[in-house]
Structure 1
Amino acid sequence: MQKEQVAFLGPKGTYSHQAALQQFPDESKYDFKPVSTIPECFENLLYDSKISYCIVPLENSTNGQVVFTYDLIRDVFKSGRGGESNELLASSKYKNRKIPPITIVGEQYVKIEHCLMTANKEIAAEHDSNEYVNLYSHPQVWGQVTEYLQEKLKGKFLNRIDCKSTSEAMIKCKEDAENGIKSLAIGSITGSKINNCVVIDQGINDQKGNTTRFLTFSKKNRNMEIPVNVEDAEKEGNITLLTFTTLRDGPGSLVDVLNIFQKHNINMTSISSRPIGVSGNWQYIFYVEYEYDHKLPWKEEILSEIDARCLTWAMWGVFQRNNDYYN
Structure 2
Amino acid sequence: MTSSETTNADSAERGLAEVRRKIDTLDEQIQALISERARLAAAVREAKGDLGSGSAYYRPDREAQVLRRVIERNEGPLSDAAILRLFREIMSACLAQQEPMRIAYLGPEGTFTQQAVYRQFGHSVNAIAQPSIEDVFLSVQGGEADFGVVPVENSTQGVVSHTLDLFMHSDLKIAAEVELRIHQHLLTQARRLDQIERVYAHQQSLAQCKHWLAAHLDHAELIAVSSNAEAARRVRNAPDSAAIAGRHAAEVYGLPVLFANIEDHVDNTTRFLVLGKSLLPSSGEDKTTLMVAGHDGPGALFGLLEPLARHHVNMNRIESRPSRQGRWDYVFFIDVDGHVDDPSLASAMEELAESARLVKVLGSYPRAVLGRLPDSAATETQS
Which band: TM-score by shorter chain? 0.7 to 0.9
Match among 198, 202, 220 for residue 260 of structure 2: 202
Rounded to whole Å, the distance in 2 between the matches of 1:206 and 1:118 is 19
Give 1:37 shift.
1.3
Rounded to whole Å, the distance in 1 between the matches of 2:243 and 2:155 is 24
For the aligned residue pairs, the C-alpha RMSD in angstroms reads 2.4
* Alignment pair present for 1:316 and 2:362: yes
Match of 2:228 in 1: 166
* Alignment pair present for 1:187 and 2:245: yes
Query: Is the 2:156–2:268 contact (alpha carbons within 8 Å) kept by the matching residues of 1?
Result: yes
Give 1:297 shift.
5.9
Distance 1:295 1:16, change over 3 A: closer
Match among 139, 142, 146 for residue 210 of structure 2: 146
Query: Is the 2:185–2:261 contact (alpha carbons within 8 Å) kept by the matching residues of 1?
Result: yes
Higher share in helix? 2
Tell me the secondary structure at the aligned position of residue 169 of structure 2: helix
Match of 1:265 in 2: 312
Distance 1:314 1:150, change over 3 A: closer
Query: Is the 2:289–2:334 contact (alpha carbons within 8 Å) kept by the matching residues of 1?
Result: yes
The C-alpha deviation readout for 1:226-274, integer Å capped at 9, x for no partner, is x213xxx1x432111111221x211223322322212221111112211
Distance 1:261 1:154, change over 3 A: closer
Match of 1:73 in 2: 167
TM-score by length of 2: 0.65
Tell me the secondary structure at the aligned position of residue 42 of structure 1: helix
Rounded to whole Å, the distance in 1 between the matches of 2:306 and 2:244 is 47
Rounded to whole Å, the distance in 2 between the matches of 1:146 and 1:46 is 37
Query: Is the 2:311–2:345 contact (alpha carbons within 8 Å) kept by the matching residues of 1?
Result: no
Distance 1:211 1:250, change over 3 A: same
Rounded to whole Å, the distance in 1 between the matches of 2:305 and 2:291 is 12
State percent identity of aligned pairs. Answer: 27
Give 1:202 shift.
0.6
Query: Is the 2:193–2:216 contact (alpha carbons within 8 Å) kept by the matching residues of 1?
Result: no
Identify unmatched segments of 5+ residues in structure 2. 1-97, 374-383
Tell me the secondary structure at the aligned position of residue 243 of structure 1: strand
Structure with higher Rg: it is: 2
Give 1:107 shift.
0.7
Distance 1:68 1:148, change over 3 A: same
Paired amino acid for 2:328 = W
The C-alpha deviation readout for 1:142-195, integer Å capped at 9, x for no partner, is 33323333333355x6x544432211222222233xxxx454222111211222
Q: How does 1:122-137 map to 2 (within 5 A)?
A: 127-128=191-192, 131-132=195-196, 134-137=198-201
Query: In the comparison of the two structures, how many residue pairs are matched?
Result: 275
Tell me the secondary structure at the aligned position of residue 143 of structure 1: helix
Give 1:196 shift.
2.3
Rounded to whole Å, the distance in 2 between the matches of 1:259 and 1:298 is 12
Match of 2:184 in 1: 114
Tell me the secondary structure at the aligned position of residue 136 of structure 2: helix
Rounded to whole Å, the distance in 1 between the matches of 2:307 and 2:212 is 48
Give 1:32 shift.
0.9
* Alignment pair present for 1:20 and 2:117: yes
Match of 2:76 in 1: none
Match among 288, 296, 304 for residue 240 of structure 1: 288
The C-alpha deviation readout for 1:21-41, integer Å capped at 9, x for no partner, is 11111x22x111111111111
TM-score by length of 1: 0.76
Tell me the secondary structure at the aligned position of residue 254 of structure 2: coil
Distance 1:114 1:73, change over 3 A: same
Identify unmatched segments of 5+ residues in structure 1. 77-100, 222-226
* Alignment pair present for 1:41 and 2:111: no
